[in-house]
A and B are shown apart, each in its own frame.
Chain A
């Protein structure tokens, strides 16, 4: 292989998406057709939101991307990832569930450390990295706290820290802030955007809030229900960094209107 080839490969890799869903269909064993003919390519370092009414298959899509539950039809490709020693594609995924999903018997630090422990990272290094991830989400000093000693928002942040600790290439978040109050949600939105910009992750963010999706994303994929499918793919053309002031700009309002209308159409169909 010549150096030119290698260079060309890297260039192509930058153009190829990180993950691509092609004609994906998901039918559950009880016969429910949750998702049909779903196409989506997620580019490197992009921030994509999946927006849609309850039950339209957002979680189902996200879980399939994570490899939890195979599609019944269609393919999910990771064109740029290589296989690990065991022959499994190295996806380097961080997943944040709708609920905090912490182990109640373990401290915040032990919960965040879990992915590293499972990968066999040495204890000392794992502790250090977990403490760092906790600090990143603003929970320095809560390492020894048990989940029950934390508030809902703090638990959610522990859960985010756990997703970050492996330094994933792609972060899949399933309505992570849906259960939180608006003040906390705004704060976590800002924190997330800041982390996304500094760490250059790829984020797929599931939400049913028009405002949240417009505030956060570069691109909004609007879904319709029964069966779940893409009805609009909107590129939100507004520059980053977006601070809280962004919420009061006309641009923001315009995009909210556009996305709302498109969601309205999705509901009518």
Chain B
């Protein structure tokens, strides 16, 4: 009796394979075109570039081919990587200072309307004044080139963080704020448990913009500073290569700057994703 019962498998016991989209080399099949299409286009572009350059015998001080640029990247890696390191250092420090000061100031703004009213206009002025026009002044005033570059990069990176975090701190749900009031929360409790978490997505969006801007600020300031003593960043290498007509090297430095920008952006996106994936709409993969 029991045997026959067990023999007739009830319908819900049948093992259906779980529905999952098929993967190729660990990457979902739908994702592959997003990788393959731009890569193919890029590769074709490079081939075309190389062919045009060699067929028309374009001199490499006008336009070097991709192969030559790659070779220069390899042979000049020693000098270029040193410069890359300096540019990245300035970018990273400027961004760090921008984050610390930006968040601190926006907290101050959120705690006191008066502070916000008094200081916010100046932050706006700092933002709308083109950095190239203040950079020379800063470089004259500040003896240390490294420090002056840092200040320029910071000025550019600062505003998005300040403005976004300020908006975020004020965006906490009205009813939730009432709830905190109802339970007699102190200002500090409300800040830490409600306003800061609510500001997180805004802050991270600002961070993503500021990461790229810090790099731009660092590069622009270096251009303005020109030869900066012994330690010189990538922008200086570009200027230098221009003077010496080492155009392949110029391209190599350019590529390194672009790559740094992309890596910074990806890093910021990753941080955003990790911080928000548990709860914020922007980072959640909805299953419907």
Contact = CB atoms under 8 A, between A and B. Distances in A.
A68 B178 contact: yes
A101 B197 contact: no
Interface stretch (A35-43, A110-118, A222-230): A110-118
A93 B182 CA distance: 8
Contacts, number: 50
Contacts of A14: none
Contacts of B200: 105
Contacts of A103: 176, 193-194, 197
A119 B183 contact: yes
A95 interface: yes
B122 interface: no
A96 to B, nearest CB: 10
B63 interface: no
A222 B23 CA distance: 62
A101 B173 contact: yes
Nearest to B276: A105
B182 A114 contact: no
A98 to B, nearest CB: 8
Contacts of A205: none
B280 interface: yes
A66 B182 contact: yes
Contact of A104 (B180, B182, B183, B279): B279
B193 A95 contact: no
B183 A146 contact: no
Nearest to A86: B184
Contacts of B184: 88, 118-119
B181 interface: yes
B34 interface: no
Interface string A182-221: 0000000000000000000000000000000000000000
A97 interface: yes
Interface string A112-147: 001101110000000000000000000000000011
A103 B178 CA distance: 13
Contacts of B280: 104-105
B266 interface: no
B147 interface: no
B111 interface: no
Interface in A55-113: 63, 66-68, 88, 93, 95, 97, 99, 101, 103-106
Contacts of A117: 193
B175 interface: yes
A146 B182 contact: no
A66 B178 CA distance: 10
B183, B280, B284: which has the most chain A beta carbons within 10 Å?
B183
A148 interface: yes
B123 interface: no
A261 to B, nearest CB: 34
B245 interface: no
Interface residues of B, number: 20
B244 interface: no
Nearest to B186: A118
Contacts of A146: 278-279
Interface string B250-283: 0000000000000000000000000000111000
Nearest to A99: B175
B182 A101 contact: no
A105 B179 contact: no
B279 A118 contact: no
B179 A95 contact: yes
Nearest to A120: B189
Contacts of B181: 68
B115 interface: no
Contacts of B176: 101, 103
Nearest to A119: B183
Interface in B160-216: 173, 175-176, 178-185, 189, 193-194, 197, 200
B182 A95 contact: yes
A32 to B, nearest CB: 17
Given A68-B178, A146-B279, A105 B197 contact: yes
Contacts of B173: 101
Contacts of A63: 178
A66 B175 CA distance: 13
Nearest to B197: A105
A66, A67, A103, A166: which has the most chain B beta carbons within 10 Å?
A103
Contacts of A148: 279, 284
B168 to A, nearest CB: 12
A93 B183 CA distance: 8
A124 to B, nearest CB: 19
A243 B231 CA distance: 82
A103 B179 CA distance: 11
Given A68-B181, A103-B176, A104-B279, 4 more contacts: A95-B179, A105-B200, A106-B197, A166-B183
Interface of A: 63, 66-68, 88, 93, 95, 97, 99, 101, 103-106, 114-115, 117-119, 146-148, 166
7 contacts: A68-B182, A101-B173, A114-B193, A117-B193, A118-B184, A118-B185, A118-B193
